[in-house]
Amino acid sequence: MTTSSTGLGTSGRERLCLALDLTDRAEIIKAVEELRDLIGWFKLNSAFTLYGPGLVREILDRDVKVFLDAKLHDIPNTLAGYGDAVTRLGVHLVTLHTGGGSEMMRAAVAAADRTAAELGVQRPKLVGVTLLTSVDRATLNGDLNVPGTVEDEIRRRARLAAEAGLDGVVCAPAEIELIRADLPDDFFYVTPGTRSPGGSGNDHKRTGTHAQALAAGSSLLVVGRRINQAADRRQAAAEVLRELREATA
């Protein structure tokens, strides 16, 4: 597939991810079927808890990429097990918390590399969550008892992720410019909660528009409610793709 009904090329489709924040399995599959020519990536989190690997395989059968938003965070030995498992599952991208430390992240990378070599496949991208986009400075300094600014903490955690061998990070659009000078040129930036101009960030406290994310260097934009809650999901997806096309024109 080289073009979509919006006129935007494959690059647009491949930079857009729909968060499948739905609970009904049939509705999840319906959304993938309905949108797979417009959207290249589909993100699973709580739905994976409900339906497991079978749902992942059913989605993969539809020639799209699966982003497993697992936000893994455990001891290194457990993360090694996850690194093996997600590689065998065949997903394309998996998140883990950078707060687990370097040893934990390295264990996941090493295990995923071993399994990929054993199977003769490409392992999923392992992407670190720096700070959830619902975290602001009051939460960072108060609830989490971490001193300093959100920006300083994100910069520190992004460097830690790169040093541990991760492929990228999850961050807000405005934060890419703050961190990219310290990171590899091919680092993968996932930006959740991006929105159309004038749209609400909902519970994302650090967000930006689709155009701002692309201008900053986002690799993958994650959109949820903007499409999921639309009366016409295809129209909503096409509108987002049009915004991406205009942003890169």
- Which residues are the active-site residues? 71
Cα angle for residues 44, 50, 56 (degrees, 5° grid):
45
Distance CA 106, CA 83 (A): 10
Give exposure, 212-234, as e/b (b: 16+ Cβ within 10 Å): bbbebebbbbbbbebbbeeeebb
Contact 150, 172 (CB under 8 A): no
Q: Which SS3 state, helix, strand or coil, does residue 192 take?
A: strand
Distance CA 239, CA 198 (A): 14
Q: If 0-12 CB within 10 Å is exposed, 13-18 middle and 19+ buried, where does residue 153 land?
A: buried
Least Cα distance to 112 among 128, 129, 94, 130 occurs for 94
| CA dist list (Å): 110 to 82, 84, 115, 131, 224 | 11, 9, 9, 24, 32
Distance CA 193, CA 195 (A): 6
